[in-house]
Structure 1
Amino acid sequence: MRKFFGTDGIRGLTNKAPMTAEVAMRVGMAAGAHFLRGDHKHRVVIGKDTRLSGYMLENALVAGFTSVGMDVVQVGPMPTPAIAMLTRSMRADLGVMLSASHNPYYDNGIKLFGPDGYKLSDEDEAQIEHLLTVEPVLADPAHIGRAKRIDDARGRYIHAVKQSLPESVRLDGLRIVLDCANGAAYNSAPTVFWELGADVVAIGVEPNGTNINDKCGSTAPALLQETVVASGADIGVALDGDADRLIVVDEKGKLVDGDQIMGLIGASWARQGRLKGGGVVATVMSNLGLERFLEGEGLRLERTKVGDRYVLERMKEGGFNVGGEQSGHMILSDHATTGDGTLAALQVLAELVAAEKPASELLHQFDPVPQLLKNVRFAGGKPLENKDVIAAIAEGEAALNGRGRLVIRPSGTEPLIRVMAEGDDAGEVERVVDMICDAVRTATA
């Protein structure tokens, strides 16, 4: 069992273990020691979102990294994908992003990237976990690291994101409502769209340390929907706190999730001869409707367990260049090493410009089948090993056989069992989910 790392780095309530300044300093020492390889001068890039606790944790990380001999480059509030990009372009040994993504301000997290700009493997995280439990080897006084802030990091990222589109593509005439969740992209994302010619209506761009993801962003899109309709915009885009995911809203205010976006980009790139791997990679949570749509386009959907890192691993193994999650993580590996909401939005906008259709026509690629997800909290034990729960799951699978799917999994961050079913019959889907949830509750009562 891993004590610190979850499905996406280390995350928790600020000033409660493991998200304390003390642990952050130890993570800096451990991760720094793990990546001290070779005799070159070692470097780490540190970015953060707009959470109040970012100041505290950033300084603690700087102390940890410099104490083991690593130089630190601090870039301030930047999207997670920008840190991945800068780590690689600066030839750094390690990248760190301080963010709890779509969580409220009082949570924070530490995401780590290797020198190639990719999230760390399970093996690297296990090694760092081990180093957190042993006495650190500190640098001698002459080899303590230095820390430096750079001011042009945002411009470097903006240029890189714009390079993902041909120079002939412009967004002139498009009115776009952009919700930056009062998070890491509050400055960079509006600039990207404005420089490409769009009329940008920006919301969620006044961070104060505590309003990140507060009634805004990709997990709270009501304000975006209202603003799109009220302003007569052509489309709306919502990012999350660290801008590695997006949700889109059409001109009528209807939500478009990651499955529809993957369908749009995958099918379009296939027609253009740009799609690699013969399909798209998504997780077990993606809707069956996406799978059927891709099959109709002569493409396949490869599924992984939940987590964008697992999507990326399968993309690298199979040579795919489009992957993502229903929640809005979009990985376009021709242009980025991790999910990038701003970059993915540009691909959607380019399709909108080329199609000359309203977003409501272009973005709804398929009709999703009824899907229901419920969470059951438990106090302890292993409910999925209970015989009655096993029997209920078997009964549910038999009921959906050939007409739907069932996905049961424990949460990677909370004591929850997640029960998801989908199928053509909404009533049957609800019955199956409720039956299994009841079995889990009884087993853990």
Structure 2
Amino acid sequence: MTLVKSSSGIRGTLGGKIGKGFSPVDIIKFSAGYISWMRRKYKKKKKYVIILGRDGRITSSLFQEFLIITFRSLGVDVINIGLSTTPTVGIAIIDEKADGGVMLTASHNPKNWNGLKMFNSYGEFLSENDFQKLFYITEKENFLFSSYKELGNVFHKRNCIQKHVKKILSLPIIDQNIIKKAKFKIVIDGINSAGGIAVPILLEHLGVHIIKMHCDPHGDFIHNPEPIQKNLKEICNKVPEVKAHFGISVDPDVDRVVFICENGEFFGEEHTLVAIADYVLENKFGPVVSTLSSSHSLKDLAIKKGVPYHSTSVGEVHVVKKMKEVHAVIGGEGNGGIVYPELRYGRDALVGIALFLTKVAKLSNISLSELKKKYSGYFMSKKKIRFYSHKNIQMLLKTIKKKYRGKKMNLSDGIKIDLLNDEWIHIRKSNTEKIIRIHTESFSKKRADFLAKEILCEIKKL
């Protein structure tokens, strides 16, 4: 059993003992801790209101009831928006002027996981500092529940995804007319979660001919839900089979998006951010931000465009913090997470799709496989290995530091080692699973894989 607490939220596997997995008791404990944090953060209020959303997981509709009961028992009003996306919860918080919100999801983790993503009153994830306060409160505080006269109310809203889409389409940078003229034919893999509803709503407004795959949000994921190449073989085959212009795949809570080329090639999750940043920078001059584990392609694009580039530790909260500091016009992560601040400071697959479609439509008759060549100067290898104690991680990092002594290292998030010829290695503990992630980048796939294998060999020696 696993329970992971980080700035990415709380998530864990289902079942097992309290405190060792994502159990009903843990759900109540962390949600009560969140309300206590909120009351300390936003003092002198008679009544608090939060937004509650969920992804399509089999357990999410069940656990949603635990959350409603807990929040109401603490005297908090709940606006339940039901099946939704993580960015939609953020938008709804802003629209409803709520004090915060919770999304019931384990994001890209498999279906035996679930979790909680928590927001502040700005519709953004809690900062790292606020998460630490929340975790402390959860462990130390004796929660005070309300009397029957002070119970919170529950309200239901079912059109929040539509409102979210409407806000995206109102952005000046999104050209609805040129997308409609392109008459795109697109395959969608909704992983049987919220994306199967949200992405078609967006594309229907844009006049796209949609071919749906796994868009029934019953939560029985047909494949591993992380939107990476090895998990998307079916849609990669489907796109050329039906002669679609391209394909779109999202994760279960729709904050990451990847694209499939017309010939079935994977466009690349790293290229999602780079292609969208290329389009945004054609319209607005300013800094860009990504993470230490993201491709150097974005840095090269920034140099070419003459704008500052900044990198951060992995995680949405770190990207958003840096974007605010430098007033970035676009940012995100190399996993397909796009942050477009003109809409909201948070990853959003739907705005990413709208920006990408506008870019491709304006290129006129250029296929995705041709566009990919513009951004494919680097090759990455992404490996992961399970760990069983923090001692193992510390031993590994110590060994790697010794092995690459004299090389330029960034120690802000694990170890990022810069080698010659724009090669690099990044080893870090995941924020969302009990694994060590090993990302490498080089001028060839063979070389990137070799660098990753060297690290894996060091791990096996421990």
Aligned partners of 1:314, 1:74: CA distance in 2, in Å? 31
Q: CA RMSD for the aligned pairs? A: 2.4
Is the contact between residue 238 and residue 248 of structure 1 (CA under 8 Å) also seen in structure 2? yes
Query: For residues 132 and 226 of structure 2, what CA distance do their matches in structure 1 show?
Result: 33
1:49 matches 2:55: yes
In 2, Cα distance between the equivalents of 1:101 and 1:415? 15
State the 1:332 CA deviation.
0.8
Alignment match, 1:333? 341
- Greater CA drift, 291-300 or 170-179: 291-300
Indicate yes or no: 2:162 matched with 1:152.
Answer: no
Identity of aligned residues (%): 21
Q: Return 5+ residue gaps in structure 2 as ranges.
A: 409-416
2:6 partner SS? coil
In structure 1, what is the equivalent of residue 423 of structure 2?
Answer: 404
Contact 1:85 1:117 in 2 (8 A): yes
Offset at residue 423 of structure 1 (A)? 2.5
Q: Runs of at least 4 residues of structure 1 off by over 6 A?
A: 395-399
Distance 1:420 1:258, change over 3 A: closer
Could you tell me how far apart the structure 2 residues matched to 1:336 and 1:213 are? 31
Partner of 1:140: 147
Contact 1:20/1:57 (8 A) holds in 2 = no
For this pair of structures, how many residues does the alignment match? 437
Are 2:242 and 1:231 aligned?
yes
Please point out which of 166, 187, 204 is paired with 1:177: 187
Between the aligned partners of 2:437 and 2:179, the Cα distance in structure 1 is 43
Please state whether the residue corresponding to 2:440 is helix, strand or coil.
Answer: strand
Could you say which residue in structure 2 is the equivalent of 1:393?
Answer: 404
Q: Residue in 2 aligned with 1:33?
A: 36
**1:347 aligns to 2:355 (yes or no):** yes
Structure 2 match to 1:9 = 9
Task: State how far apart, in whole Å, the 1-side matches of 2:425 and 2:116 are.
Answer: 32
Q: In structure 1, what is the Cα distance between the partners aligned to 2:430 and 2:198?
A: 32
Contact 2:110-2:224 at 8 Å conserved across structures = no
Where does structure 1 lack aligned partners over 5 or more consecutive residues?
none
Alignment partner, residue 413 of structure 2: none
- What residue is the counterpart of 1:367 in the other structure? 376
Q: Quick one: which amino acid aligns to residue 418 of structure 1?
A: R
- For the 8 Å contact 1:14–1:108, the answer to whether it is kept is yes
Q: Matched residues in 2 for 1:429 and 1:218: separation? A: 21
Match of 1:264 in 2: 275
**Structure 1 match to 2:201:** 191
State how far apart, in whole Å, the 2-side matches of 1:415 and 1:194 are: 39
Paired with 1:151 and 1:377, the residues of 2 have a C-alpha distance of 40
Q: Per the alignment, do residues 432 and 104 of structure 1 end up closer, same or farther by CA in structure 2, a change over 3 Å counting?
A: closer
- 388 and 176 in structure 1: CA distance in 2 versus 1, 3 angstrom threshold: closer
CA gap of 1:396–1:221, structure 2 versus 1, over 3 A, is farther
Q: Does structure 2 retain, via aligned residues, the 8 Å contact 1:246–1:341? A: yes
TM-score, normalising length: structure 2: 0.87
Give the counterpart of 1:240 among 225, 229, 251: 251
Q: Is the 8 A contact 1:233 1:251 kept in 2?
A: yes
For the 8 Å contact 1:28–1:65, the answer to whether it is kept is yes
Displacement after TM superposition at 1:301 (Å): 3.0
Residue 311 (structure 1) shift: 1.1
